[in-house]
């Protein structure tokens, strides 16, 4: 579920970038603004086509939005939102400044409004548009599911950056999405039209998860270990063996669970069985199951 689910039907060419924009909201606000601008560029071009407007003297976003013919056909409130998104996104993309999450959230709220307006007034499916809805950052945090369906290397990077962040439900969504992307033979509908071919190489997901095992945030390390458990990739055994001795108990437990699904992990589990508390208890249970 994502805020822009309706755009899959109303504006299918823009849906992927809408999902990417909201999926980056918490993990990379700058990227969220970058994709919001891409949506706006596509949306304005779409409006020029459906409204049969002549192109202005300059073929760029600022000129198109400020063109008198465009402003006659598009309400001032919408053109103002388009201009706001363009200006903030320019700062994010070209100036290299740090973009605060609250600024990215404001951009996505404006983006939601213009996508709703365009979808209702100028798409073949106005009936699916959520006219009474507002952009919900809690829903955006769950958009990892949508990003996982889109696939591609950029999806892996965004999801890996979100490991360990948010509520338990949000974290589980990110782990699940990465697990799906890294599954053997994983592919997504319309893959050929998406960046990276729509399918994330299994090694790319595993590599991102193994890198996250070195993160400062113990929650990110625990989630990374869980992803590796879903992949059941024997190449992850050395990294998981190290994580089984992590200072944080949650990381140790997640690493042990992942090791329990890997061939050749019995020696590591037997070694961890000497530990005290829940770590040792889990290691002993898993080791006995493998023996």
The average confidence (pLDDT) of the chain is 85
* CA pair distance 209, 173, nearest whole angstrom: 15
Q: How far apart are CA 253 and CA 259, in angstroms?
A: 10
Residue 97's Cβ-count burial label (10 Å; 0-12, 13-18, 19+) is exposed
* Tens-digit pLDDT profile for residues 79-114: 999 999 999 988 876 665 678 889 999 999 999 999
pLDDT tens for 36-70 read 999 999 999 999 999 999 999 888 999 999 999 99
> Which tokens in the block code for residue 73?
């056909």
**143-182 tens-digit pLDDT:** 655 566 556 666 788 788 888 887 776 787 788 888 878 8
- Which of 247, 249, 289 is closest to 269 using CA atoms? 289
Residue 70, token pair as written in the block: 């465009």
Diameter over CA atoms, the chain:
76
Nearest to 234 by CA among 255, 213, 261, 273: 261
Identify the helix (H) or strand (E) that includes residue 150: helix 144-150
Which residue has 């990276």 as its token pair?
Answer: 196
């Amino acid at each position: 579920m994502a805020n822009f689910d309706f755009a899959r039907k109303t504006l299918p060419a823009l849906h992927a970038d809408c999902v990417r924009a909201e999926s980056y909201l918490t993990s990379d606000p700058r990227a969220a603004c970058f994709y919001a601008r891409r949506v706006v560029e596509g949306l304005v071009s779409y409006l020029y086509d459906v409204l049969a407007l002549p192109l202005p003297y300059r073929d760029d976003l600022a000129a198109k939005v400020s063109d008198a013919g465009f402003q006659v056909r598009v309400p001032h409130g919408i053109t103002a939102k388009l201009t706001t998104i363009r200006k903030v996104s320019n700062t994010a993309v070209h100036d290299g400044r740090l973009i605060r999450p609250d600024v990215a959230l404001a951009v996505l709220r404006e983006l939601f409004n213009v996508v709703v307006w365009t979808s209702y007034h100028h798409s073949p499916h106005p009936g699916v548009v959520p006219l009474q809805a507002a952009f919900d950052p809690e829903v955006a945090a769950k958009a990892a599911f949508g990003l996982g369906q889109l696939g591609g290397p950029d999806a892996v990077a965004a999801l890996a950056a979100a490991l360990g962040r948010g509520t338990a439900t949000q974290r589980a969504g990110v782990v699940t999405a990465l697990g799906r992307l890294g599954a053997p033979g994983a592919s997504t509908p319309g893959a050929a039209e998406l960046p990276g071919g729509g399918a994330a190489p299994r090694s790319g997901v595993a590599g991102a998860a193994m890198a996250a095992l070195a993160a400062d945030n113990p929650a990110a390390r625990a989630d990374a270990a869980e992803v590796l458990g879903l992949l059941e990739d024997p190449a992850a055994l050395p990294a998981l063996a190290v994580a089984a001795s992590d200072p944080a108990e949650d990381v140790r437990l997640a690493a042990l669970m992942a090791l329990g699904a890997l061939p050749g992990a019995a020696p590591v589990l037997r070694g961890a069985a000497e530990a005290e508390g829940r770590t040792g208890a889990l290691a002993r249970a898993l080791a006995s199951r493998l023996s």
